[in-house]
Amino acid sequence: MVKVKKEGVILKPTKLAFEAKGVFNPACIRVGNNVHMFYRAWDKDERSTIGYCKLEGPLKVVERMKKPFLKTDETYEYSLEDPRIVKIGKTYYLTYVAYDGKSVRIAYATSKDLKKWKKHGPISAEMTYDEAETLFRSCKFKLKERYFLFKSYFKDISGKDAMLWDKDAFLFPKKIDGKFALIHRILPDIQIIYFKNFKELTLEHWKKYLKNLCGHIVLESKHWYETRNVGGGCPPIETDRGWLLIYHAVDDMDKGKTYRAGAALLDKKDPQKVIGHHHAPLFSPDQIYETKGNIPNVVFPTGTAVFDGRLYIYYGAADERIAAVSIDLDELLDELTEVGSKKIR
């Protein structure tokens, strides 16, 4: 395995009410020598908003807001969670989870300068799990049974009228064949949807898409550390060898769930073609700040930045803090290419 350096904790909760319980799962983007970080801030009433800090270089915090950067302001936004950010052309796109207290939706906001943001509302499918299940059964190639097991799970915890849970959404940082490409996650796999503009994402568009959900899967569980599910992590990084995808993987074989970070290399023209999918986790929770916290045994990667050939991955640690690891980018790409060529499973 490529050597991963754990850089330690970058951000901790403060006494400020909006982030007193946890700061984690940051959206990150490098501009010049700075990394702009938009993170999930969790208060003691179990509600989240989006906080902001700025790093000088990959690790030094030089600025931090003392109030939420983005607040909840709609009925579907009881809580704002797990943002991701990319820049396409001259526009920054921030995707996030809008939780209404019962169900989750994918929502997004845009900005030209990282200061003023415009919210555009939800873009995910507005349907119940029962409605989604009917569409799932229309797939030409039969979906795995776990799709229907998770449907039953969410109906049990949220009620029969629970909406389809669709999370971990982010855009590719450039259009593919002239279309936006959105990674999202309907348990247990990672899927992709293409569209020319956001207005296309109507309920009818989603219904047509979900009837062939089996044809839109990017990555699915293959290895021991992915036994429960996989989910989107950081927005893909374009390299000369393909799209580098850092994702999270969950197993629940032992004492509860363990969240780890995984890595895969996707074809540049067709991201559904997997060049390399590593048979071992990229990194796992083994430090005290990762194993102890609001949710133990969690590393949840959501942002990256590259400095001097090193890839810095920013992640939520135990749903309480923000930490980082660094990796030699070329070594990681070499390893994923070799894994693909040997077809290691």
Separation CA 222–CA 31 (nearest Å): 36
Tokens representing 175? 């259009």
Question: Running DSSP on this structure, what letter comes out for residue 138?
Answer: T
**CB–CB of 244/233 below 8 Å?**
no
Looking at residue 140, what is its pLDDT?
Answer: 80
pLDDT band at 33 (very low <50, low <70, confident <90, very high): very high
Has residue 274 got a pLDDT over 80? yes
Query: Which two structure tokens, joined as six digits, stand for 235?
Result: 């927005």
Report pLDDT for 224. Answer: 93
pLDDT at 156 over 80: no
Q: Which residue has the higher pLDDT, 287 or 145?
A: 287
pLDDT of residue 344: 44
How far is Cα 23 from Cα 49, in angstroms, rounded to an integer?
10
How far apart, in Å, are the Cα atoms of 190 and each of 76, 193, 215, 243? 24, 11, 12, 15
- Given a cut of 90, whether residue 102 has pLDDT beyond it is no
pLDDT: which is higher, 146 or 3: 3
Helix axes 129-136, 203-210, angle to 10 degrees: 50
Please choose, from the candidates 300, 295, 294, 297, the residue with its C-alpha nearest in 3D space to the C-alpha of residue 323. 300
Q: What is the pTM of this model?
A: 0.96
